[in-house]
Structure 1
Amino acid sequence: MLNKIPYFAGPIRSRKLKNITIKTISEATQVSLTTVSRVLNGVSKKFRISPATEAKVLEAAERLGYTPNQTAINLRLNKSFSIGLVIPTLANPFFSNIASIVNQALHAKGYSVLVTDCNEEEKTEIDAVRQLAARNIDGMIIIPSGKDKKHFELLLKQEIPVVFIDRYFNDLPISYVSTDHYEGAFLMVNHLIASGHKRIACIQGAHHVMSNRERVRGYSEAMKAQKLPEYYIGGSSFTYEDGYLETKLLMQKSEKPTAIFALSDTILLGVLKALTEDGYRIPEDISIATFDNSIYLDFLACPVTSISQPISDVAQIAIRLLLNKIDQKSNHEESTNGQENILIVPSIIYRKSVKSLL
C-alpha cells in the first residue's frame, strides 16, 4: 500500500527554543528558586532537602533540557575550569603518556586541558606559557624545555598556580613532582657493575635539563663508588638521531665499551640502529640498558633492561598538588604548604639485554 505524505504549502517556521533556567524549573515544579538552585548544585543533604523534592527537581531539569550556565558557575566559584599543560614533545612516549594521564584525570574532575607541544624549543615554550596565562586559566602543569626562567617567574608574580613535572629548577620556588633520576641511574649502573661491566658508556640528553643532569650524576657517582673511571659520557639531546651518531662515534674507540646506558628510550632507538648496522649482537657482543621503560621494550629482538619511571604516580600527585593550589586561590586562602618538592624512587625492569661477565 502506498503511504501518502501530506504536502504543506508555504514556508516552514522553526519553533523558538525557550531558554531553560532555574526559574523555569521552579515554576514547573512549584519549588522555590533557592531550593532548585541547591538541588542543582548538589547540596541537597547539606540543606536537608527531602529526597522527594530533590528527585522532583532533577526530573524536571532533565525533562526540560536544563543546561547549567557555565559562565555563571565559573564566576560564582572564581574558576575557569581550564588547565594549561605544556609538554616538551609529544613525540617522546614518556611525555605523551603523561599528557594522556593528566588529560583523562582532569577531565574526570570537570576540567578542560589545553595542551601545548613545544617541540623542545624554548621560544615556543615561552610563547605558550604567556598565551595560556592571558586566557584566565586556573593553573598550569609544565615540563620545562629550556633554560630561561623569566616566564615562570612571571607566573609567580601573577599568582597563577603552577606545578612542574619531571624537569624543574632548584632555585625557583615552584612545586615539582619527579622521578628520582639520580637514584634511578645509580641503581642501573650498579646493576651493570655487579654484572661485571667496567667500561660503561653513558649517552645523555640535553645538558641543561635537570632530569638529564641528575641521571649523569647518578652514573658518575655509581662509577666513583666502585672506584671506576667514567668511561664515556656523550650526547646532547634526547633524540633518536643523537643516540645513533653518538653510538657510531663511540664504537670507533680502540677499547670498546662492554655496556651502553642510554638516558632515554628515544636515545636508545638510535643506539640500537647503529649497533645493528655494524653487526653487534645484544647482549652477546655488548650489553644495553635504558631509562624510561616504554612499552615496546618488551617486543624488541632482545628485550631491553630499563629504569621504569612511576609515570602514573608522578602525574596523579602533580594533579593533586595543582588542584589544592587552585582551591586555595579561589577560596582566597594562603598556601599552607608552600613549595612542595616530591621525588619518587624508580625501579629496574630486568630483561635480557645485560650479559653477565662474571
Structure 2
Amino acid sequence: MSISLKELAFRAGLSQSTVSQILNRRPNDFSSESTRRRVFALAKKLGYRQSFGHKVLRGDKTHTVAILLGMHRLSLEEHIQELLLLLLDKFESCGYASYLVTLSSVADDNLARVRDLLSRGVDYFILIGSPYGESEVEAEVLRCEKRIVGYNTNLGHNLTHNIAEASRRVLSFFLEQGCSNFKILLSSANSERMQGLFQLFPDRSPEELIEKHFVQLGDFGDIDDIDFFAQVGYEKTKQIMLADRKTQALFYLSDYFALGGVKYLHENGYKIGRDILLAGYNNIHAVRNHILPISSVRHNTEEMARIIVEGASKTNSQTTPVQAKVVLRKL
C-alpha cells in the first residue's frame, strides 16, 4: 500500500514542501544531492507513488518515461535486455518513473496504447525497434508536444549503430585471413550491412557483389523462436557448403543463425577457425563463451543509454550514430 506524502516527509525528517520539491525536481529545490538521493531511495523503499493527475491537468512535466518495444521478439535479444536494465536504472536514479510496454502487430492498438500513456502524463517516449504504425505513433507524440527518440527506427530522432562500418571491418578481417570466398547471410540485400561490402570493393558494381556474396535468409516477420533461427542457419549453411565446398567464411545476420551454422559445420568435419571463419552479430553469451572462434559485433548499450537519458531534458531531431565494437576471434 502506498504511503502519503505527509508520512514520507515525516520518515525523511523533512517538511512536506521540501520533499515535494525534491520529488518534482523543482528549480527552487536547494537540497543537497545526498538529501535528494535519500528521499528518492526512501520513497522507493516505502512504496510512495506520486499522483500525476493534477500535473497533467496543468500541463506540468511528470518526469515519466515510456519505453516501447516494437515487437515481442526484441525482448529476447540479450543486448536489448541489457539496454532496458540500463535505462530503467538510469532513469530511476534521475527521479523518473518508467513504463515498459511491448507493442502489438496492430497499428491501431499501438496508437491507442500511446494515447493512453499520453493521458497518463508521459513526458518522454523511447521506441526500440520499428512497430506497426510507427509514423502515426511519432506524429501523435509530437502533436502533444512530447519528446520521442528511437533506436533502430525511422523516427526523426533515431539512434543507430554504424552497421556498415562494423560489417566492413568484419569482411576486412576475412580478407586479411586470406578468405576472399565468403558469403553474407541476410534477410535482404538492401540491408545496411551490404553497404560495408560495397565500401570494401568500390571498383565493383553492387549487382556483381550481391550475386557473388549475398545469400537470402528470408523474411521472419514476428517469429520469435530462437531455435527456429538456429535451424535456418543450419539449413542455409548446408545449402551454401553443398553448392561450394571451398567457401572460406560466413557472416550471419545474427549470432543465433551463426550457432546453427556451427552445428552443421561441426557435424560435417569442418574445422572452424581453420577451414572456415564465422561471424555473427550481437555478441551473445553463447558466442562469447563458445569453445570455437566466432567473431561478432557488440552493441555499445552503455553509450546508447547515456544518450537516451540525456535526451529526456533536451530536444533533438537527428540520427545519432553510435560506434559498435567488432570482436574478432580466430584460433
Q: Which residue of 1 aligns with 2:51?
A: 70
Find the residue that maps to 1:41 and give its secondary structure. helix
Residue 216 (structure 1) aligned with residue 209 (structure 2): no
* Structure 1 range deviating more: 181-190 or 140-149: 140-149
Q: 2:153 aligns with which of 168, 173, 178?
A: 168
CA distance in 1, matches of 2:124, 2:184: 37
Verify the 8 A CA contact 2:296 2:327 in the aligned structure 1.
Answer: yes
Quote the Cα distance in structure 2 between the aligned partners of 1:279 and 1:176: 44
Selected match of 2:86 from 87, 101, 124: 101
Equivalent of residue 131 in structure 1, options 106, 109, 113: 113
Residue in structure 1 matched with residue 313 of structure 2 by the alignment:
324
Query: Contact 1:144 / 1:168 at 8 angstroms: preserved in 2?
Result: yes
What's 2:233 paired with?
A: 243
Letter in 2 for 1:345: Q
Distance 2:89 2:101 in 1: 16
Q: Does 1:143 align with 2:128?
A: yes
Once residues 295 and 214 of structure 1 are traced to their aligned partners in structure 2, the CA distance between those partners, rounded to angstroms, is 25
Shift of residue 19 of structure 1? 6.7
Provide the TM-score with structure 1 as the length reference. Answer: 0.68
Structure 2 equivalent of residue 283 of structure 1: 273
Aligned equivalent of 1:197: 179
- The yes-or-no answer on 1:111 pairing with 2:101 is no
Mapped partners of 1:66, 1:306: distance in 2: 42
Tell me the distance in 1 between the aligned counterparts of 2:192 and 2:67. Answer: 24
* Deviation (angstroms), 1:253: 0.9
- What is the rounded CA distance, in whole Å, between the counterparts of 1:309 and 1:44 in structure 2? 35
Partner of 2:297, secondary structure, is strand
In 2 relative to 1, CA 19–315 (structure 1 residues): closer, same or farther, beyond 3 Å? closer
CA distance in 2 between partners of 1:19 and 1:179 (Å): 44
Amino acid at match of 1:41: Q
Match for residue 86 of structure 1?
A: 68
More helix by share: 2
CA contact (8 A) 2:110 2:133 kept: no
Is 1:37 the counterpart of 2:17? The answer is: yes
Could you tell me which amino acid in structure 2 is paired with residue 110 of structure 1?
A: G
Tell me the number of residue pairs that the alignment of Structure 1 and Structure 2 aligns. Answer: 295
Contact 1:74-1:81 within 8 A present in 2 as well? no
Cα gap change, 1:127 to 1:68, in 2 (>3 Å): closer
| Deviation, structure 1 residue 274 | 2.8
Residue of structure 1 equivalent to 2:223? none
CA deviations on 1:161-209 (whole Å, 9 max, x unpaired) are 11011x122xx5x21112111111111111111211111110114x49x
Q: Which amino acid aligns with 2:290?
A: L
2:166 alignment counterpart: 184
Give yes or no for contact 1:202–1:219 (8 Å, CA) kept in 2: no
SS in structure 2 of the partner of residue 251 of structure 1: helix
Normalising by structure 2, we get a TM-score of 0.73
Q: Distance in 2 between matches of 1:48 and 1:346?
A: 40
CA contact (8 A) 1:138 1:161 kept: yes
The residue type equivalent to 1:157 in the other structure is: R
After the TM superposition, which parts of structure 1 deviate over 6 Å for at least 4 consecutive aligned residues? none
Output the CA distance in 1 between the equivalents of 2:128 and 2:49: 34
8 Å contact 2:111–2:133 — kept in the other structure?
A: no
Is contact 1:177-1:341 (8 Å) kept? Answer: yes
Whichever of the two has the greater Rg, that structure is 1
CA RMSD between the two structures: 3.9
Cα distance in 2 for partners of 1:352, 1:128 equals 45
Native 8 Å contact 1:293 1:306 kept in 2: yes
Q: Are residues 82 and 278 of structure 1, via their aligned partners in 2, closer, same or farther at CA, if it must alter by over 3 Å?
A: farther
| Pair 224,259 (structure 1): closer, same or farther in 2 beyond 3 Å | farther
Q: Which runs of 5+ in 1 are unaligned?
A: 1-17, 326-334, 354-358
How far the C-alpha of 1:299 sits from its partner, in A, is 1.4
Which residue in the other structure is 2:323 paired with?
345
Q: Is the 8 A contact 2:4 2:48 kept in 1?
A: no
